[in-house]
Structure 1
Amino acid sequence: MGILKGILAIIFFASVVWSRQLTFHDFKVFSVKVENEEQLRILKTLENDDDGFSYWKDPILGRDADIVVSPNKLNDFNDLVSALKLNSTMKIANIQKLIDAESPLRQSREAFGWENYHTLDEINAWLDGLLISYPDILSVHHVGYSYQNREIRAIKLSHKNNSAAILIEANIHAREWISSATATWLLNELLTSTDPEVVDIATNINWYFIPVLNPDGFVYTKTTNRLWRKSRYPHQHLCYGVDLNRNFDFMWMHVGASSNPCSDTFAGPTPFSDPETKALSEFMTAHIDEIKVFITFHSYGQFILTPFAYTYEPADNYEQLKQVGNAGADAIRQRYGTNYVVGSSAEVLYMNSGSSRDWIKGIHNINISFTIELRDQGSYGFILPPEQIIPNCLEIFDGLKAIVSECKIIGYL
């Protein structure tokens, strides 16, 4: 989610060596209400400004847009707000301050937990430990390799071979760290909880977890650019990467995707041009008879999104999708009062095409295919503080249990 149209790497490419850690001192995030067509038209022109403006939430008439403003563009932005009579609120005063607070120094031998975000190596080492500790119910499945030859793995939790399965995919967008943190927490809870309800769904449903679908991009956010979104495939010399969630071969490039390699929504030169999406599609196709529910974790915004995003026409089982999604949202709300909006992406968020959610529904007609946009609603955006990891996971697990229960009632599981 949160489209960064003017890719942040391009802002710096003339003066920054790619191996250096980019910083975002005094970069600000403003929320602006798009109230008329003239405001929308002008705001959309900023998408082509490679010198200091970018979007975390696209401008859409009647909704709020989140715009990142570099220090050298602040006066221009203020002039624009005045000229267009925009209703503007600053959400983040200094992006770098949030980044610095997000990644405190940690002891190298600290046990794996969810008080902090982890590197890819730490996640994989933890998964390796689980495979040793739970050899009878956990197995690793090779999904494929990334462009930079990092393995993409799926961990299967299975007590009964013939059970229906739920597939959870995370970190298709590199900067959305809370997604992989949530996936790993859920796996751990299904393995270790003694709660009878959790034991039941862990025992009687097969679970596949792909914690990091975009390992190259994820590593790049750790080493070089915290706000990187795409893969790292060099389809064009100056602009790397593809938005993997625009690269699936269903309504590819229909709407809400870009043919510009420098755009953060670049859909790739062809569908499945990148090895990560091709590998996931082949993995899901190979297991499609088993998979009954597909959930992809993203951030941010607090949405449970149903197919489809390329059209306002509802999916064939839209009422059931809404019923299941609403059950999840109601359960999420019970713990901390966190509100999630349920609906198709086209209806409640924005239009796009080529996503994993729409592909598995559109090609394989799986009954339940959700995108869950995790915390928050923009106060921190993609840089959700570590202290919110566990509260986020707790409420999402409440929602997931309700989703499973509602699917059973309907007959989907």
Structure 2
Amino acid sequence: MVNMRLLWLCAATLVVLASAGTLKDTPKQRFDNYGVYKLTIRNRIQLALIEKIGEISNKYDIWKEYDEHTKEVHIMVSPEELKHFQELLKVNDISSEQMIENVQELIDGEQVTAAADSGTFGWTKYYELSEIEAWLDSVLAAYPTVTEEFIVGQSYEGRTIRGIKISHKAGNPGIFIESNIHAREWITSASATWFINQLLTSEEPAVRNLAESYDWHIVPVFNVDGFEYSHAKNRMWRKTRQPHATNECIGADANRNFDSHWLENNGASSNPCSETFAGDEPGSEPEAKALVEYLTQIKDQFSVYISFHSYGQYLLSPYGHTAAEFPDNYADLLEIGEAFATAIEDLPYGTVYRYGSTADVLYVATGTSVDWVFNELDKKVAFTIEYRDQGRYGFILPPVQIIPNCEELMAGMLALIDKTKELGYI
């Protein structure tokens, strides 16, 4: 009889080796003189045009989808397309403002010089997947009585999706954090690792209480294939890395691939080349499928679900599929959101976060992990955090802002969990 497990392991190994060969052989993409523009959209025709060019050409990349409140879209444009882009804006009477002149300069600025790099894991630079995993190993070894590893599953390219559980005593209510589902959002895994470190090492009474009163389930890098690719080959990569059966475009938006109002109300795209491609069916991406199976298995072990994203400075609650209706506990979610935002704004940085349902405050987004957990697992406190900033740096947040962003996260989380407990959810 054929050993199916052995065959699977061999196939997974071949996929990883093939991927490694591809990453080694192809040059790293540069973004010299790519600009990012803030567009003011006044009607549906203008919006349809911008969304279409974002899908049909790799010379454009929508960084921030249309915001119903600000009427803004942020889009990256290649230098060779700039003249055509400006003509399109003029003909369609779309006003624009340049936010970033040269994306590559920001990418180069992320790199820490050898003199500034202490060689030990910290939060003054961004790390690659292997470095984050090595740090996780060291944490698990250093705190064996309160930490344990858990495995969500395997990625398309055969990488392991790893998480860490921090538990000080049996019977604690649980909180699950999923980070870096979108590959290019590096601030999310930086914030997740910092948060893990604080839960284990901080001597602040409020943080110690937070650490010891709850079980923390944290996945620092969920989209492991995409994250690796964003470091090795394309800093702006967002999606997974599974090839499409009938299209040359690679990957899907893992955060549109869950079976909760999947592909409804223009909340995702059916175009494999789109950054918000929902996949051919819910759970088509092995990463999303694995998370569904894992969360279903441990659904009685957590009460709160949080997904780390960037950028825009939002705390977003369900629903994502419609702004025409709201959850029964929406008033409570708004109260939690207000506590979170107020705590952050009260810090010396004065950073302002908006809060409310995804579809109402930002845009319609369907098939997201947060909505799936809220709707299908009945976890009534579930949020997406969109970190700094509002477009000055976008996805390429300078390393000097990692610590300030993390300090805001801690202030917000303390308030969020306190209010959630006060309202009786945990």
Using the size of structure 2 for normalisation, the TM-score is 0.90
Q: Which residue of 2 aligns with 1:10?
A: none
**Alpha-carbon contact 1:166-1:293 (below 8 Å) kept:** yes
Q: Which residue of 2 aligns with 1:202?
A: 211
- 1:25 to 2:37 alignment: no
Matched, 1:282 2:290: no
**Structure 1 residue runs of 4 or more that deviate by more than 6 Å after TM superposition:** none
Judge conservation of contact 1:18–1:224 (CA < 8 Å) in 2: no
Q: Map 1:171-250; keep pairs closer than 5 Å.
A: 171-236=180-245, 238-250=248-260
Corresponding position: 1:360 with 2:373: yes
Alpha carbons of structure 1 residues 370 and 101: separation in structure 2 relative to 1, 3 Å: same
- 1:168 corresponds to 2:177: yes
Q: Who is 1:42 aligned against? A: 49
Q: Distance in 2 between matches of 1:126 and 1:59?
A: 37
Equivalent positions of 1:301-320 (< 5 A) are: 301-312=312-323, 313-320=325-332
CA 1:86–1:341: 2 relative to 1, 3 Å? same
Structure 1 position 38, deviation (Å): 4.1
Code of the residue aligned with 2:144 in structure 1: it is P
Partner of 2:73: 65
C-alpha deviations, 1:41-82, integer Å up to 9, x for none? 433342344152231122456511111111111112222333
Q: Which amino acid aligns with 1:251?
A: H
RMSD of aligned C-alpha atoms? Answer: 1.7
Change (3 A) 1:51 1:261: closer
Pick the aligned partner of 2:166 from 145, 149, 157: 157
Output one character per residue of 1:333-359: Cα deviation in whole Å (capped at 9) or x when no partner.
111110100011110111011100000
**Distance 1:247-1:387 versus aligned 2 partners, 3 A rule:** same
Instruction: Tell me what 2:276 maps to.
Output: 265
Deviations 1:179-237 (A, max 9, x none): 00001100100100111111111111110110011111000001001101111111235
1:323 aligns with 2:335: yes
AA partner of residue 262 (structure 2) = W
**Secondary structure class of the residue paired with 1:289:** helix
CA distance, structure 1, for counterparts of residue 410 and residue 328 of structure 2 = 27
For the 8 Å contact 1:360–1:366, the answer to whether it is kept is yes
Q: Does 1:54 align with 2:66?
A: no
2:92 to 56, 79, 84: 84
- The structure 2 residue matched to 1:342, chosen from 355, 374, 385, is 355
Instruction: Name the SS for the 2:299 alignment partner.
Output: coil
**Structure 1 position 405, deviation (Å):** 0.7
How many angstroms apart in 1 are the aligned matches of 2:258 and 2:44? 31
TM-score calculated relative to the size of structure 1: 0.93
SS in 2 for 1:66: strand
Q: Which runs of 5+ in 1 are unaligned?
A: 1-15
Counterpart amino acid of 1:332?
I
Over the matched positions of the two proteins, sequence identity in percent amounts to 45
In structure 2, the gaps of 5 or more residues are 1-22
Secondary structure class of the residue paired with 1:85: coil
What is the DSSP-based 3-state SS (H/G/I as helix, E as strand, rest coil) of the residue aligned with 1:76? helix
Residues 369-392 of structure 1, C-alpha deviations (whole Å, 9 max, x = no match):
000000000111111110000000
Q: 1:396 — aligned with what?
A: 409
CA distance in 2, matches of 1:41, 1:240: 23
- Secondary structure, in 3 states, of the residue corresponding to 1:58? strand
Distance 1:50 1:339, change over 3 A: same
Q: Measured at CA, do residues 44 and 241 of structure 1 come closer, stay the same or move farther in structure 2, by a change above 3 Å?
A: closer
Choose 254-263 or 219-228, whichever is displaced more: 254-263
How big is the shift at 1:18? 6.9
1:66 partner amino acid? H
